[in-house]
């Protein structure tokens, strides 16, 4: 049997704020998936292996030129801006909504763990993948047998 948590939310316009408040993560703004314009940010996966951290950002329909990734003082920032500048000359529009997409997302990166000068990024099949290699001194070392004398 699986227990399910029932939502006690009486004010639908404030669900995530109150949920975050009572979870105790109110001041952890980096973990929230919202923007000031009440839109959602692209979904992100963060993976770790022995050699690196990998951040995958779901951003289908964009081009690699639409992204800017920067690293400064332990903060990795991903910016994206895309405008649809297609012009249809001579058309009489009753309604045409402009196409503009942008987002910014930042992550605190432990500088003592990640080699900031070796961070790389790749965009393929709608996924922006950022590789954050670990410093050699923090990578797990293989076990060795100690000879007893």
CA dihedral 35, 110, 132, 61 (to 10 degrees): 0
How far is Cα 8 from Cα 16, in angstroms, rounded to an integer? 12
Residues of the chain with pLDDT under 50: 1-2, 4, 6, 13-14, 25-32, 34-38
The DSSP-derived string for 42-99 is: PPEEEEE-SSEEEEEEE-TT--GGGEEEEEETTEEEEEEEEE-----TT---S-----
pLDDT number for residue 78: 94
pLDDT the model gives residue 29 = 47
Q: Which two tokens stand for residue 58?
A: 């779901």
Question: What pLDDT score does 61 carry?
Answer: 84
Tokens 């070392």 locate to 141
Are 43 and 105 contacting, i.e. CB atoms less than 8 angstroms apart?
Answer: no
Return the closest-CA partner of residue 32 out of 56, 40, 24, 67: 40
List domains and CATH numbers for the chain: 40-85+99-138 (2.60.40.790)
pLDDT of residue 38: 46
- In this prediction the pTM is 0.64
25/18 Cα distance (integer angstroms): 10
pLDDT, residue 92, reads 77
pLDDT, position 91: 73
Question: How confident is the model at residue 15, as a pLDDT?
Answer: 53
- pLDDT tens digits for 80-107? 988 776 666 667 777 766 667 788 999 9
């Amino acid at each position: 049997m699986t227990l399910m948590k029932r939502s006690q939310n009486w004010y639908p316009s404030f669900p995530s704020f109150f949920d975050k408040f009572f979870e105790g993560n109110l001041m952890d703004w980096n973990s929230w998936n919202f923007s000031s314009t009440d839109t959602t940010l692209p979904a992100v996966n963060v993976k770790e292996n022995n050699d690196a951290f990998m951040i995958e950002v779901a951003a289908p329909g964009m081009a690699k030129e639409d992204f800017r990734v920067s690293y400064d003082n332990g903060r990795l920032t991903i910016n994206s801006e895309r405008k649809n500048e297609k012009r249809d000359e001579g058309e009489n529009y009753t309604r045409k909504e402009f196409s503009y997409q942008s987002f910014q997302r930042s992550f605190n990166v432990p500088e003592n763990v990640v080699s900031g000068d070796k961070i790389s990024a790749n965009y393929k099949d709608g996924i922006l993948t950022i590789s954050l290699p670990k410093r050699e001194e923090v990578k797990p070392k293989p076990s060795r047998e100690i000879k007893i004398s």
